[in-house]
């Protein structure tokens, strides 16, 4: 079982302090990763790799930064993966794949109404260079979605849960996540509401498993399917795919407009259903990784037996063991052999 926080033995105010330190580190890591990516890609004329390099730096700084904060606060050695809710366990791959299946199903369910309405108009540019760019975009999405999960649902989330409880921590960080997303181009009131429920979904995935594998799977599959397979923008960004470019027509409440499916009404309906499905597919993980047996809370759980019963047990233990009579093995019935019968009679001697 995974603890709620890697520093669960610390007092609540200290958890809050660690949360604030983690939040400041996220802002610092974002700035450092942006500068590092700009310097490398400009120096070596690799601007096409800018997004990937920036996200790799960001993820690296988050993982090691949170691990360093944990070590400074506890002076206890632990792995970077465990500190950031990425434990190595037998079900890790299965958790990610289940999350990815759910994310893919969510995206497909959200896009089907657009298909029936005839709102999607894809254009295919099937060249070798575009295939290579699509693979690069897929890798970038994988890294960026993991970085977001580590930032909002990893060490930071665990510390805030330990400081304030799971309900308040979930709502607060969902609001923070939504606030960041509201600055994306094309954001609307509906997209803001949907983003909030996406954050709730990802948080539930963590709370059910105490790991990021399921949430990362959902996040990655939704984003990758939207942009790579359908050529739609994700959260207002449309520069991930040159292989399939899809223009949309129709009302924005149906298509999401330039923001993508995350601003479409049917996505909100899909999210409500997805939360219920998520509970179902993670129920066994919740039992395996989050169940804690009840404790006595300071009260004795073993009730002493009555005094009379104890006295009877003591008397029985002090009494000598009863004698056990062992019967003779000599047969009492007459033998069927006359010679043996005569021999037994002589051995017994006269009676009376």
User: 273-298 burial string, b = 16+ CB within 10 Å, else e?
Assistant: ebeeebeebbeebeeebbeeeeeeee
- Alpha-carbon distance 218 to 278, whole Å? 10
For residues 230, 234, 246, 128, the Cα torsion angle rounded to the nearest 10 degrees is: -70
Rounded to the nearest angstrom, the gap between the alpha carbon of residue 222 and the centroid of all alpha carbons in its chain is 17
Q: Which residues contact 16 (CB under 8 A, 6 or more apart)?
A: 159, 160, 163, 164
pLDDT recorded at residue 333: 54
pLDDT recorded at residue 2: 45
**Helix/strand/coil for 328:** coil
pLDDT recorded at residue 27: 95
- Alpha-carbon distance 289 to 199, whole Å? 21
Per DSSP, which regions of 249-342 are E strands?
Answer: none
Written as tens digits, the pLDDT of the chain (352 aa) is 444 555 556 788 899 999 999 999 999 999 999 999 999 998 888 888 999 999 999 999 999 999 999 998 888 778 899 999 999 999 999 999 999 999 999 999 999 999 999 999 998 888 888 889 889 999 999 999 999 999 999 999 999 999 999 999 999 999 999 999 999 888 999 999 999 999 999 999 999 999 999 999 999 999 999 999 999 989 888 777 778 888 899 999 999 999 999 999 999 999 999 999 999 999 999 998 987 666 555 555 566 677 777 777 777 777 666 665 565 555 555 555 566 666 666 665 555 4
Rounded to the nearest angstrom, the gap between the alpha carbon of residue 87 and the centroid of all alpha carbons in its chain is 10
- Alpha-carbon distance 234 to 222, whole Å? 9
Residue 32 token pair? 């450092």
pLDDT recorded at residue 327: 56
Beta bridge partners of 158: none
pLDDT recorded at residue 84: 95
**Helix/strand/coil for 121:** strand
Give the predicted TM-score (pTM) of the model: 0.80
pLDDT recorded at residue 310: 74
- Alpha-carbon distance 189 to 193, whole Å? 6
Residue 73 token pair? 């606060």
pLDDT recorded at residue 304: 65
Q: What pairing do the DSSP bridges indicate for beta strands 244-248 and 120-124?
A: antiparallel
- Alpha-carbon distance 199 to 234, whole Å? 15
Residue 166 token pair? 């799971």
């Amino acid at each position: 079982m995974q603890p709620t926080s890697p520093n669960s033995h610390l007092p609540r105010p200290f958890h809050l302090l660690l949360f604030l330190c983690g939040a400041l580190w996220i802002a610092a890591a974002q700035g450092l990763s942006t500068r590092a990516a700009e310097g490398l890609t400009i120096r070596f004329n690799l601007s096409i790799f800018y997004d990937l390099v920036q996200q790799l730096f960001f993820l690296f700084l988050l993982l090691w930064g949170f691990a360093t904060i944990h070590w400074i606060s506890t002076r206890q050695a632990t792995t970077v993966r465990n500190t950031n809710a990425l434990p190595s366990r037998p079900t890790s791959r299965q958790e990610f794949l289940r999350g990815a299946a759910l994310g893919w199903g969510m995206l497909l369910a959200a896009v089907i109404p657009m298909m029936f309405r005839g709102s999607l108009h894809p254009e295919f540019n099937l060249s070798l260079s575009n295939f290579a760019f699509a693979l690069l975009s897929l890798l970038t999405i994988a890294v960026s979605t993991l970085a977001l999960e580590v930032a909002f649902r990893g060490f930071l989330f665990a510390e805030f849960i330990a400081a304030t409880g799971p309900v308040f921590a979930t709502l607060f960080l969902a609001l923070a996540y939504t606030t960041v997303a509201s600055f994306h181009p094309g954001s609307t009131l509906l997209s803001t509401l949907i983003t909030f429920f996406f954050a709730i979904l990802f948080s539930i995935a963590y709370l059910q498993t105490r790991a990021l594998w399921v949430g990362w799977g959902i996040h990655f599959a939704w984003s990758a399917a939207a942009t790579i397979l359908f050529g739609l923008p994700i959260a207002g960004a449309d520069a991930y795919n040159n292989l399939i470019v899809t223009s949309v027509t129709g009302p924005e409440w149906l298509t999401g407009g330039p923001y993508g499916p995350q601003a479409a009404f049917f996505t909100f309906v899909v999210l409500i259903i997805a939360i219920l499905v998520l509970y179902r597919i993670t129920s066994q993980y919740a039992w395996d990784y989050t169940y804690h047996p009840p404790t006595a809370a300071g009260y004795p759980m073993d009730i002493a037996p009555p005094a009379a019963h104890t006295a009877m047990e003591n008397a029985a233990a002090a009494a000598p063991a009863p004698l056990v009579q062992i019967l003779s093995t000599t047969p009492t019935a007459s033998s069927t052999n006359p010679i043996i019968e005569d021999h037994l009679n002589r051995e017994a001697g006269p009676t009376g």
